[in-house]
Structure formats: C-alpha cells, structure tokens
C-alpha cells in the first residue's frame, strides 16, 4: 500500500527509469520518449487532481492530510514523513499542471538528447512534489537540494549561448543560501534533542519547541536567506535573469512557474511559523526589500530589449508582492501571497511559453525584431492579450486577486508599504502593455515576420489550458482560496500570537565544548503550556 | 571459534599472506606466462573481510598492542573495500601501462596491512610501525612508473617529506612517553587524567608533534604541500588508493590517539585542530578552483575532505566519532570511483587528466560520464548520495558540540568545491568537442567495479541506517 503522495513522487521517478531503459543513441525513438514522458506527467497531474478532489477543506478537518510516515534514519529521528495542507495541495496541483505543459512546449524547442531531457524534467517534477509535501525537515532539505541537479543540467545542456555561466551561477547562488539553512536545520534538531532527549526533524514537533531569542534570530536569518534567494528577493535576484534567459523554454516555465514558489512556500511553512518572534522582528526589513523588488523589478523590466528578460524581471516584481504579503503575516496577506504564487505560476508560465513560441519561429527574442504580429497571428495575439492582462492584474483575472489581497493585508499592517507597492501595479501595466504594443500592434516592419504561422494544435494545447486557468482563477477565486484558508489561518494564528524579538542578541544556545565527557549543555526549559494554534495531525 | 592471542591480527595475516603469495607467484612464473595475479589479492582481502566480520563484537586483543575492537574492524572493512576496488581498477591499468604486476599488487596489499594495523593498534609505537609499513609501500607505488619523470619526482618528494613527518611523529611519541611513562593509549589516558597534566609544556609539545605527523599523513593544511604533487605523479588508481586508504588509516589512528589517549587534554588540542580543520577546508576548496588537472583538482578536493573529517574529530562527541567512520566509508567509495574513471580514461603515454580531455565525454562514453558525474555530485554533497549524508553527519556532530563556526565554514567551502566539481561536469556534458578517444576498450571487470561503487554510494545515500548503526556500534565499545 503506498499513499497518494508517495505515488505522486514515485510516478515521475518510475517514468524516468523507464525512459532510461529505452535505447536511443540515434534519436530514432524521440517520438516515443516524448509521448511517454508526457503521459507520465499527465498521470502525476491526475494524482494531484485526485488529491484535490479528496481533500477535506473544512475548518474542522485535520491540519495535515494524506499523512504517510515511516522511519528513515531512526538514530536521528529522521522520517519519511509526508502530508499536505491546503497550501501544499494547491502548489502540488500547480506543479502537476505545469509539468505536462512544459514538456509539450519542449516538443519544438528542444531537439537534442530528448531522452536525457525528459528524464531530467521528470526527476525535477518528482523532487518539486517532494518539497511541497515533506513534513520532515530533513526530508524537505533532501528534496530541496536535489531540485538543483536536474535544473542545472536542463539549463546547462539545453540552454542558449551563455548557458554554462547561467547554470553554474544558478546552482552556486542557490546552494550557498541553502547550506546555511542546513546548518540551522541541524541546530534545530540538536535543540530538540537537548529539550526532549531525542532528535527530531518532525516539523510539527519543532513547532512546539521554545527557541531562545538569540537562536531564533540566527536560525530565522539562515532559513530566510535560503528562501529569499530562491524567490528571489532584491538584492539576491541576480541569478534569476541569467537562469531564465538562458534556460530552454520548458526550463523557464518550471523555474518561474514552480521553483520560485518553493521560496515563498518555505517562508510560509518553515521560516515564519518556526521562528515567529524573529519573523515579526524582521518583517519590516523583508517588506522594505520586497517593495524595492517590486519597483526595481518593474523599472528594469521596462527597459529590457529582450522579451524573455523582461518577463524574468517582471517575476522579480511579482514575487516581491508575495514577500510583502508574507511579511504582513495576517490572513489577507498570506492568503494573497499564496494566491499570487499560483497566479504568477500560471501567467508567467504562459508568458514564457508564448515567448518561446515566438523565438522558435524567429530565433530571436528581441522586441525590436517584432511588430505587427497581429496581422499574421491573430490567435496567438488574442491569447497573449489574455495572459498580459492577467499578469498586469486586471480585475477578473488571476493576477488581480493575489495583488489585491496582499495590498489589503499589507495596508492593515503598515500602509506605507502599500503606497510604494501600488506603484508596481501601475508600472507592470506600463512594461507589459508597452511590450505587447511593440510586438503585436502596428505595421509589420520586419519582413521576416510576414507569413509566420499562427498557433498549431500542440500550441493550443499549451496556451489554451493556461489562459483558461488564468480566467478561471480570476472569476472563481474561492475555488482555490477555500482549501488554503484553514492552513493559512493556523499559520497566521501562530505568528500573530507572539511578540517580536525585543533585542536581538547574538546568542547561540550552547557554546563550544569546554570540558570533555561532560554534557555541559543546559537543557532547554520544556514548554508545557499549550499553544493557541497547536496543530494536530491526521494519522 | 577458538580464542587465541592471534585473533585480532587475523585480518592482517590474511592480507600479508596474500601479498607474499602474489610476490612468489610472480617469481615462479615463466616469462611469457600470463597468470592473473590480481585475484590472489582479492582472495586475501575477502579473507580479511570475513575475519573482520567474525571478530565483530568480540573485543579481542593480541599481544596487548593490537585490538580487535569494532572500531578497528570497521576501518578494516572500509580498507578491504578500498583495496578491492583498487585491485579491480588496476587490472586494466597495470597491463596497459606495463607495470610490474607482482610488485604492484604486493605493495598494494602490504600497504593495506599497514593501514589495518594503524586502525587496530593501541600502542603509539605500533602505530608508528604501521605508519611506516604503509608509507613505504605507498612511496614505492607512487613512483612505480619508472619510465615517467613526473612519477619518480613525485615519489621522491613524497618520500623526503614523509620521512620528515615520520620523525616528527616519533619525536612526539618520545615526549609523551617521557611525561606519561607509557606508550599504551589506554594507559596514557588514565595517567593523564589522574595527574591532570593540562598545561604541562612537555606533553603539549608531544601533542603538537603528533598533530604534525598525523596532519601530514591526512594532508591537512599547512602540511599538505606534498599531496598535489604526489597525487598528480602517481598512477591514477594509486592516487585514489592514497587519497582514501591512507587517509582512512591515518584518521582512524588519529581518532584513537586523540579521542582515547589524549582525550583528557581535549581542551588543549581542540582549538589547534579547529584551526587546522578550518584552514584545510578553506585552502583545499579555494585552491582546488584554480586547477586544470583533474588529478590535482581531486587532490585538493581530498585535502578538503580531510578537513571535514577533522571537523568531526574536533567535535569529539559520540556523533562525531560515528560520523567520521561513516564519512570514511562514503568518501572511500566515492573518491575511488572518481579516480577509477580517471584511470580508465588515461592511456600509457598520456594520463589524459587535463580538464580539456573530458570535453564531450558524454558523447563518446555516456556511461563513464554518467558515473563520473554521479561521483562528483556525491563529493559535492548532493542528495541522494552518500556524500550528502556523510556531510550532514559530520556537521551535525560539529554543531552538537557548539562549533557553529566550523560547520558554517564547512558548508560554505563545500559550495566552493561544488564549483570545481561542476567544471568537470560542464566539460563532460555541456561542451560539444569530442573527447580524446580512449585507446583500450574498458574491461567489464573495471566497469563492474565502478558500478558497484556507484550502487554503494547510492545505497548509503538513500538507506544509510544500517551503516550508521554499525558506525555507532563501532565506537560504543572503545570510547
């Protein structure tokens, strides 16, 4: 008997092993491999949909559902421990939804080593699903770190000219952040050991830990650094334009669509609830950085001559909203942040797909090379318009709900941030519409653009669902918000029940081993008092 | 099994015997006769492995100076794996490079005897004896390609510096003997504790000299200067052997002497080792970045790995001791695998160990490239490989003793090391030039050895529980 979550993780892995067995030195089996990889990713998507259908979204339901746990490294209390709440659920569905689309988008743009490409894509999917449903923090880190490997190869082998530089920058940058988180994770397990006598990496047990203030300060920083590099938040965003621009289209789709969300998810799931006092203490700093990111990303996007780079910087701006919502850490803020992550996944995924289609046709992504495409590709133009509007955050589209909720939440917390963030909303209209206008409207100025084919059937299959999702999420946001509500409520309660750190002393709970053979560490005072928002688990 | 005074040395006897048989077999062989000598060595190693397993948990002792405790036996098993893989990879290279098979395998086996003795010895003088047995064999192996100037030079350098370090080590023993009146490790521990010798300049001098000797053998900064040259000059398989076997043996003895014999003085020596560990990790990775020869690159990488091992030693807690053992096993499989690939890619005239030789390896030898990439990811500490679990284990030990600084230096230096491991991956996978053709087809035995190492690395990365359990058992009886 394996659970649904394990099934979701294992399906792509089995798929990639199957692909490994198909001999394809001469490329004769490319079609078969593409179809098989697509089929496997559709099965995984189906599994995530089943999860959604059978998820109990009522407030009385247990916090984490579909729980699976078995011992992995018992000596250190490490478990294979999976479970999802509404937040993870929606991100799982997003992952399941975007992977087949990314694979479809590769059918034209990726033309060498199809087998290896498909294997890496499926491994990537498996590890991303793992990230979103791991409740053991060690297991989480394993998935988190593993994600880098397939993405590194995807950028490095199938990317554009500067791919090697981009791939190495991507992996080193994100790894440098994550390893410090590893140190903090280990520190947490020791803290648990000294408090209770046994090691644990169980997230829910670690939630119950009373963490001294100085420790919270440093551990929060370590966790948050890992997550905001991934998001990425200004000033840690410099890897992103390189990685996005150099990655092949499917790589960009997954990178922007899902991987950036791992950062936001990490903040909501780990950094804020584990270290609430430190989180409240640092929230203004995060919010400040986020509004800088919003405005800076938008301004830089505006002047990009390259469409892909423009979309990449727009991600910096949009993900800035996510951080702002999280920093507000109230109901609207975090719900908005979660929603914005989903919305951004859909619309930016779609933008990268469309840019990919244009670059497949013309082998350039420079805005100045295009113009007047509407004459020859009315359908693609229509779809692009929908996506552009959704990315801007037009009411009735998916982008609006998230940004609106975030600004609502942030306004309740500190209106000053909203004043600046609202600038970003205006600027996003400027750079997106300006690009749209230059590329699609006007006269055809470049003769190469004459007679470009409109959307093919396969391309419809890519952008159709994305556009539909963008509209559906704007019209019926409650379908997506409802399952996340109890999860967000619990996290907000947890964080808001605390006071921010008063003084941030740089104290680490136990100092260097002074004398041998004497367990000199002071046991942490156990905290029997029940938390207002203690989280119980469905077994 | 009957118990006798020889029990604890049976594993070593097996390997010694195999070494002697190998020597004789070659001596009695006719000139044109082709006889497979390597399997003889493998049989001896298998015997040692069986003996080690049978002796498990029995805490035997021989002659009062060699202990058959689980700690030594664990190290023995790691060394058996190291030896077996070395011999398997050598079957291809010995013939290809025209090396004298009898001497070659005999020296490998005698070196292993020395290494095993280092792990099992409980007396400083016996450790010295073991150190010399191992070192002399390895000096010879380093220079075994007498037709290559570089090889001879490397061996000579290694020998001179090694002899120097050995004398430091011996001098240290003398000081310790002078102050404590014993060379027995257990006895030393009790005497130091009883007389509270902390701060005694003579004993500190002795400890310092011992640190120099050990640090030299594991190539810890600032005593690492010999290793890039020696590693580059030696045949690739031997480089792998040196970087894993010698390191494992030296670390095992280091742990036993310092965490057992000199444990009462930990407050005195831990700060010194803290600095050595930190410097070793930093220098190993940072200088590694600048290398273009794969052997040199991995030489610096193995210096850095020595630093991680030292971090476990500095931590000095239960977790650290077990972590060191786990790390040794994980690192041995990974690093030997990587050097195995390098060895298989070279040919008689040229070692093919320049970074550019790996350009497009993925196109010509997809399997070798995939294996190499896998080993490199493990060295870099990515999940789900043994390298990740090992690093986590070591840093967990350091953090458990409050050495956050050391852990942070460790993880950040491992990010730097990822940079140069990935340079190799970039060459293999992301450049389109074809690699130099490999002249000899790769034997299925050598390929099998690589696959076994790969599976071992994967197994330890995914299901490390069993080995962690063994490592914990290994330290429970002696410390």
Q: Which of B23, B84, B101 shows the shortest CA–CA distance to B48? A: B84
Q: Which residues of A touch B415 (CB under 8 A)?
A: 172, 175-176, 179
C-beta atoms of A189 and B396 within 8 A: yes
Is B390 within a domain?
yes
Pairing of strands B60-62, B66-68: antiparallel
- What's the rounded Cα separation, in Å, for the pair B452 and A11? 26
Å from A312 to nearest chain B CA?
24
Residues with Cβ within 8 Å of A518's Cβ and at least 6 positions away in sequence, in order, are none
Which residues of chain B have a CB within 8 Å of the CB of A182? Answer: 392, 395, 411
pLDDT range class, residue A529, cuts 50, 70, 90:
very low
Residue with tokens 């480089």, as numbered in its chain:
B239
On chain B, the residues whose CB falls within 8 A of the CB of A516 are 263-264, 266-267, 316
CB contact under 8 A, B407 and A186: yes
pLDDT band at A442 (very low <50, low <70, confident <90, very high): confident
- What is the average per-residue pLDDT within A423-442? 86
Q: Which of A254, A310, A297, A273 minimizes the C-alpha distance to A434? A: A310
- Asked if B57 contacts B473 with a C-beta cutoff of 8 angstroms, the reply is yes
Buried b (16+ CB within 10 A) or exposed e, B127-140: bbbbbbbbbbbbbb
Dihedral sign of CA atoms A158, A159, A162, A163 in order: negative
The gap between the terminal CA atoms of chain A, to the nearest Å, is 15
* List of chain A residues whose C-beta atoms are within 8 Å of the C-beta of residue B363: none
Q: Which of A17, A75, A191 to mutate to test the interface with B (most CBs of B within 10 A)?
A: A75
* Cβ-based contacts of A163 with chain B (< 8 Å): 430
Residue A388 tokens, joined: 């552009």
Contacts of A190 in chain B (CB under 8 A): 396, 399-400
- Distances in Å between the Cα of A439 and the Cα atoms of A374, A473, B447 are 9, 27, 55
List, in sequence order, every residue forming a beta bridge with B67; answer none if it has no partner. Answer: B61
Alpha carbons B286 and B291: distance in angstroms, whole number: 10
This prediction has a pTM of 0.90
B contacts of A174 (beta carbons < 8 Å): none
Interchain CB distance below 8 Å, A146 and B383? yes
The beta-carbon neighbor of B411 closest among A183, A189, A517 is: A183
Task: For chain A, say whether B468 makes contact (Cβ under 8 Å).
Answer: yes
Task: Name residue A79's beta-bridge partners.
Answer: A71
Q: Which of B263, B382, B404 sits opposite A508 (nearest CB)?
A: B404
User: Which position has the token pair 């284990």?
Assistant: B393
Which pLDDT band holds residue B306 (cuts at 50, 70, 90)? very high
Is B241 part of any domain?
Answer: yes
Cα–Cα distance, A237 to A254 (Å, whole number): 17
List chain B residues with CB under 8 Å of A521: 402
Closest Cα in chain B, distance from residue A37 (Å): 21
Tell me, what's the pLDDT at B436? 60
B289 interface with A at CB cutoff 8 Å: no
Contacts of A513 in chain B (CB under 8 A): 266, 270, 315-317, 401-403
**Residue B1 lies inside a defined structural domain of this protein:** no
Residue tagged 């003398």 (tokens): B174
Report yes or no on B319 lying in a domain: yes
| CB-neighbour burial class of residue A85 (10 A; exposed 0-12, middle 13-18, buried 19+) | buried
Chain B residues with beta carbon closer than 8 angstroms to that of A130: none
The C-alpha atoms of residue B235 and residue B143 are separated, in whole angstroms, by 8
Q: pLDDT band for position B2 (50/70/90)?
A: low
Q: How many contacts (CB atoms, under 8 Å) link A and B?
A: 104
Lowest mean pLDDT among A270-279, A360-369, B437-446: B437-446
Question: Which residues of B fall within a CB distance of 8 Å from A153?
Answer: 429
Q: Which of B315, B412, B422 lies nearest to residue A171, judging by beta carbons?
A: B422
Q: A190 to chain B: nearest residue by CA? A: B400
Report whether B438 contacts B344 (CB < 8 A).
Answer: yes
**Domain residue limits at B272:** 7-476
Q: What is the pLDDT of residue A62?
A: 84
CA dist A237 and A235 (Å) reads 6
Give CA separation, A489 vs A265, A267, A271, A484, A499, in Å: 15, 15, 16, 8, 18
Contact between residue B242 and residue B231 where contact means Cβ atoms under 8 Å apart: yes
**B430, A72: Cβ pair inside 8 Å?**
no
Strand, coil or helix: what is B228?
A: helix
Measured between CB atoms, does A444 come within 8 Å of chain B?
no
Taking alpha carbons only, the member of B335, B353, B354 closest to residue B344 is B353
Asked if B430 lies within 8 A of A156 by C-beta distance, the reply is: yes
3-class DSSP state of A216: helix
Residue A522: predicted pLDDT? 38
The answer to whether the Cβ–Cβ distance between A176 and B412 falls below 8 Å is yes
Q: With a CB-CB cutoff of 8 Å, which residues 275-334 of chain A face chain B? A: none
Q: Across all residues in chain A, what is the average pLDDT?
A: 84
pLDDT at A512 over 60: no
Q: By the 8 A CB rule, do B316 and B259 touch? A: yes
Cβ neighbour number for residue B185 with a 10 Å cutoff: 24
Judge: B430–A167 Cβ closer than 8 Å, yes or no. yes
How far apart are alpha carbons B285 and B289 in whole angstroms?
A: 6
CB A244 within 8 A of CB A252: yes
Confidence of residue A502 (pLDDT cuts 50, 70, 90): low
Q: Between A153, A157, A513, which is nearest B401 by CB? A: A513
The dihedral of CA A377, A383, A386, A390: what is its sign?
Answer: negative
CB under 8 Å to A94, separation ≥6 — which residues? A257, A258, A261, A341, A342, A345, A346
Residues contacting residue A488 through CB under 8 Å, at least 6 positions apart: A86, A87, A268, A331, A334, A335, A338
Question: Is the peptide bond prior to A107 cis by the omega test (within 30 degrees of 0)?
Answer: no
Work out the average pLDDT over B106-122: 93
Instruction: Indicate the DSSP class of residue A375.
Output: G
Report the pLDDT value the prediction gives residue A63, as an integer from 0 to 100: 83
A373 pLDDT more than 80: no
Q: Which residue has the higher pLDDT, B34 or A19?
A: A19
Give the Cα separation of A278 and A271 in Å (integer). Answer: 9
B387 backbone dihedrals φ, ψ, rounded to 5°: -60, -35
Sign (positive/negative) of CA torsion A209, A214, A220, A225?
Answer: negative
- Please compute the mean of the pLDDT values over residues A291-312 and round it to a whole number: 90
Look at residue B215 in the predicted model and tell me its pLDDT.
92
Per-residue pLDDT averaged across B1-7, rounded? 69
Q: Which range, of A13-22, A237-246, A525-534, B197-206, averages the lowest pLDDT?
A: A525-534
**Closest CA–CA distance from residue B450 to any residue of chain A (Å):** 19
Q: Do B407 and A180 touch (CB under 8 A)?
A: no
Give the C-alpha distances (Å, rounded to integers) separating A311 from A155, A253, A296, A303, A494. Answer: 17, 11, 14, 12, 35
pLDDT above 90 coverage of chain A, percent: 27
Which DSSP helix (H) or strand (E) runs through A73? strand A65-73
Residue B274 placed within a domain: yes
Asked if A516's CB is within 8 angstroms of B396's CB, the reply is: no
Closest CA to A127 of A98, A102, A103, A147: A147
Q: Return the C-alpha torsion angle A463, A469, A471, A474, nearest 10.
A: -150
> In this structure, are residues A221 and A236 in contact, taking their beta carbons and an 8 Å threshold?
no
| pLDDT average, residue stretch B32-39 | 76
Q: Does B98 touch chain A (CB under 8 A)?
A: no
- Any residues with CB less than 8 A from the CB of A468 and at least 6 apart, and which? none
Within 10 Å of residue B198's Cβ, how many Cβ atoms? 14
**All residues at 6 or more sequence positions from A472 whose CB lies less than 8 Å from its CB, including other chains:** A398, A479
Please say whether the beta carbons of A297 and A234 come within 8 A: yes
Region of B59 please: left (phi>0), alpha (psi -120 to 50) or beta.
Answer: left
CB A51 within 8 Å of CB A66 = yes
Site of tokens 């397990």:
A189
pLDDT of residue A520: 39
Among the residue ranges A522-536, B190-204, B254-268, the one predicted with the least confidence is A522-536
CB atoms A164 and B430 under 8 Å: yes
Interface of A with B in 90-149 (CB under 8 A): 138, 141-143, 145-146, 148-149
Give the position of tokens 């179809």: A35
B178 touches chain A (CB under 8 A): no
Interface test with A, best of B404, B467, B475 (most A CBs within 10 A): B404
Which residues from chain A sit within 8 angstroms of residue B400, using beta carbons?
A: 190, 193
Weakest mean pLDDT among A167-181, A279-293, A445-459, B239-253: A445-459
Computed from CA positions of residues A94, A97, A99, A103, in that sequence, does the dihedral angle turn out positive or negative? negative
What are B50-80's pLDDT values in tens digits? Answer: 999 998 888 888 888 898 889 999 999 999 9
pLDDT higher than threshold 60 for residue A515: no
Residue B2 is assigned to a structural domain of this protein = no
Residue B316, chain A, CB below 8 Å: the answer is yes
Q: What are the beta bridge partners of residue B62?
A: B66
Most confident of A54-63, A146-155, B90-99: A146-155
* pLDDT at A539 (0 to 100): 39
Which residue's structure tokens are 């996290």? A491
Q: Do residue B266 and residue A513 have CB atoms under 8 angstroms apart? A: yes
β-partners of residue B278 are: none
Average of pLDDT values for B416-445?
78
B379 contacts B457 by C-beta, under 8 angstroms: no
Q: Which residues of A touch B433 (CB under 8 A)?
A: none
pLDDT value of residue B265: 85
Q: Do A168 and B422 touch (CB under 8 A)?
A: yes
At residue A128, the pLDDT reads: 93
Cα(A460)–Cα(A383) distance, rounded to whole angstroms? 9
- How sure is the predictor about A266, in pLDDT bands with cuts at 50, 70 and 90? very high
Q: In chain B, what is the straight-line distance between the N-terminal and C-terminal CA atoms, in Å?
A: 26
Contact between A192 and A200 (Cβ < 8 Å): yes
Show residues of chain B in contact with A142, CB under 8 Å. 383-384, 388
Tokens describing residue A19:
């692909």
Alpha carbons A326 and A286: distance in angstroms, whole number: 9
Closest chain B residue to A146, measured at CA: B383
**If you measure CA to CA, which chain A residue comes closest to B465?**
A73
Locate the chain A residue with the closest alpha carbon to B265. Answer: A516
Residue in A119, A425, A137 with CA at minimum distance from that of residue A294: A425
Chain A residues close to B266, C-beta within 8 Å: 513, 515-516
Q: Cα–chain-centroid distance for residue A277?
A: 25
B286 touches chain A (CB under 8 A): no
What is the rounded distance in angstroms from the CA atom of residue A349 to the CA atom of residue B209?
62
Q: Residue A55 — φ and ψ, nearest 5°?
A: -80, 135
Q: How many domains would you assign to chain B?
A: 1
State how far the Cα of B40 lies from the Cα of B17, in Å rounded to an integer. Answer: 10
Chain B residues 368-407 with a CB less than 8 Å from chain A? 377, 382-384, 388, 392, 395-396, 399-404, 407
Q: For residues A287 and A230, what is the distance between their CA atoms, to the nearest angstrom?
A: 16
Q: What is the pLDDT of residues B165-210, one digit of tens each?
A: 999 999 999 999 988 888 999 888 888 888 876 678 888 899 999 9
- Reported ipTM: the value is 0.91
């Amino acid at each position: 008997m394996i659970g649904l979550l394990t099934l979701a993780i294992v399906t792509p892995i089995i798929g990639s092993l199957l692909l490994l067995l198909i001999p394809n030195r001469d490329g004769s089996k490319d079609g078969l491999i593409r179809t098989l990889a697509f089929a496997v990713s559709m099965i995984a998507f189906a599994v995530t949909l089943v999860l959604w259908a059978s998820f109990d979204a009522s407030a009385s339901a247990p916090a984490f559902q579909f729980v699976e746990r078995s011992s992995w490294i018992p000596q250190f209390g490490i478990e294979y421990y999976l479970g999802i709440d509404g937040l993870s659920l929606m991100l799982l569905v997003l992952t399941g939804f975007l992977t087949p689309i990314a694979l479809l988008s590769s059918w034209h743009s990726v033309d060498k080593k199809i087998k290896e490409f498909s294997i890496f894509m499926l491994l990537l999917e498996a590890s991303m699903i793992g990230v979103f449903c791991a409740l053991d923090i060690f297991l989480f880190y394993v998935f988190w770190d593993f994600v880098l490997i397939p993405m590194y190869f995807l950028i490095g082998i199938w990317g554009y000219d500067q791919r090697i530089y981009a791939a190495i920058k991507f992996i080193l940058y994100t790894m440098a952040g994550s390893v410090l988180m590893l140190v903090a994770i280990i520190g947490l397990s020791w803290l648990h050991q000294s408090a209770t006598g046994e090691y644990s990496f169980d997230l829910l047990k670690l939630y119950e830990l009373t963490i001294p203030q100085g420790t919270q300060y440093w551990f929060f920083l370590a966790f948050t650094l890992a997550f905001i590099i991934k998001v990425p938040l200004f000033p840690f965003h410099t890897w992103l334009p390189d990685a996005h621009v150099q990655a092949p289209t499917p790589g960009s789709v997954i990178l922007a669509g899902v991987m950036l969300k791992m950062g936001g998810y990490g903040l909501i799931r780990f950094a804020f609830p584990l270290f609430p006092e430190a989180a409240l203490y640092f929230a203004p700093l995060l919010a400040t950085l986020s509004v800088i990111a919003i405005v800076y990303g938008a301004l830089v996007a505006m002047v990009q001559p390259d469409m892909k780079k423009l979309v990449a910087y727009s991600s910096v701006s949009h993900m800035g909203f996510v951080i702002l919502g999280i920093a507000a850490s109230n109901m609207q803020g975090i719900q908005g942040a979660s929603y914005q992550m989903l919305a951004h996944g859909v619309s930016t995924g779609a933008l990268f797909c469309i840019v990919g289609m244009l670059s497949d046709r013309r082998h350039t992504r420079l805005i100045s090379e295009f113009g007047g495409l509407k004459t020859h590709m009315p359908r693609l133009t229509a779809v692009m318009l929908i996506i552009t509007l959704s990315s801007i955050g037009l009411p009735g589209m998916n982008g609006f709900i998230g940004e609106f909720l975030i600004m609502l939440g942030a306004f309740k917390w500190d209106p000053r941030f909203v004043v600046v963030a609202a600038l970003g909303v205006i600027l996003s209209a400027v750079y997106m519409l300006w690009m749209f206008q230059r590329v699609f409207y006007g006269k055809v100025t470049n003769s190469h653009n004459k007679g470009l084919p409109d959307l093919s059937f396969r391309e419809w299959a890519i952008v159709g669902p994305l556009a539909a999702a963008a509209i559906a999420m704007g019209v019926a946001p409650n379908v997506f918000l409802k399952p996340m509500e109890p999860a967000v409520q619990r996290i907000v309660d947890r964080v808001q029940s605390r006071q921010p750190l008063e003084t941030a002393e740089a104290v680490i709970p136990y100092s260097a081993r002074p004398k041998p053979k004497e367990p000199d560490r002071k046991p942490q005072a156990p905290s029997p008092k029940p938390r207002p928002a203690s989280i119980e688990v469905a077994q | 099994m009957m118990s006798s005074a020889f029990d604890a040395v049976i594993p070593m006897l097996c390997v010694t015997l195999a070494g002697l048989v190998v020597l004789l077999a070659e001596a009695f062989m006719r000139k044109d006769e082709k006889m497979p000598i390597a399997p003889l060595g493998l049989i001896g190693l298998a015997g040692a492995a069986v003996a080690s397993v049978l002796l498990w948990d029995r805490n035997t002792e021989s002659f009062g100076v060699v202990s058959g405790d689980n700690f030594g036996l664990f190290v023995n098993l790691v060394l058996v794996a190291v030896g077996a893989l070395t011999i398997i990879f050598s079957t291809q290279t010995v013939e290809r490079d025209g090396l004298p098979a009898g001497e070659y395998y005999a020296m490998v086996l005698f070196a292993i005897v020395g290494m095993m003795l280092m792990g099992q010895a409980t007396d400083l003088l016996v450790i010295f004896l073991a150190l010399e047995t191992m070192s002399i064999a390895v000096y010879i192996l380093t220079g075994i390609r007498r037709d290559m100037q570089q090889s001879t030079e490397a061996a000579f350098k290694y020998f001179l510096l090694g002899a120097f370090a050995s004398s430091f080590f011996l001098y240290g023993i003398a000081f310790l003997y002078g102050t404590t009146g014993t060379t027995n490790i257990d006895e030393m521990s009790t005497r130091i504790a009883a007389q509270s010798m902390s701060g005694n300049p003579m004993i500190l001098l002795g400890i310092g000299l011992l640190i120099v000797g050990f640090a030299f053998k594991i190539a810890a900064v600032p005593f690492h200067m010999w290793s890039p040259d020696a590693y580059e000059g030696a045949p690739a398989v031997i480089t792998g052997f040196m970087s894993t076997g010698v390191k494992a043996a030296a670390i095992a003895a280091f742990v036993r002497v310092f965490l057992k014999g000199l444990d009462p003085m930990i407050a005195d020596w831990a700060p010194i080792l803290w600095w050595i560990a930190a410097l070793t990790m930093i220098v190993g990775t940072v200088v590694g970045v600048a290398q273009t020869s794969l052997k040199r690159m991995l030489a610096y990488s193995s210096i850095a790995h020595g630093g991680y091992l030292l971090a476990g030693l500095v931590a000095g807690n239960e977790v650290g001791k077990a972590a060191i053992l786990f790390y040794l096993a994980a690192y041995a499989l990974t690093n030997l695998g990587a050097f195995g690939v390098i060895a298989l890619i070279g040919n008689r005239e040229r070692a093919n160990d320049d970074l550019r030789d790996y350009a497009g390896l993925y196109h010509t030898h997809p399997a070798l490239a995939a294996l190499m990439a896998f080993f490199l990811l493990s060295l870099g500490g990515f999940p789900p490989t043994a390298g990740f679990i090992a690093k986590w284990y070591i840093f967990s030990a350091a953090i458990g003793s409050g050495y956050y600084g050391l852990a942070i230096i460790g993880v950040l230096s491992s990010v730097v090391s990822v940079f140069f491991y990935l340079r190799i991956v970039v060459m293999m996978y992301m450049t389109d030039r074809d690699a130099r053709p490999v002249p000899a087809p790769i034997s299925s035995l050598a390929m099998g050895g690589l696959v076994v190492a790969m599976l071992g690395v994967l197994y330890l990365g995914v299901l490390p529980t069993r080995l962690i359990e063994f490592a914990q058992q290994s330290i429970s009886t002696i410390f």
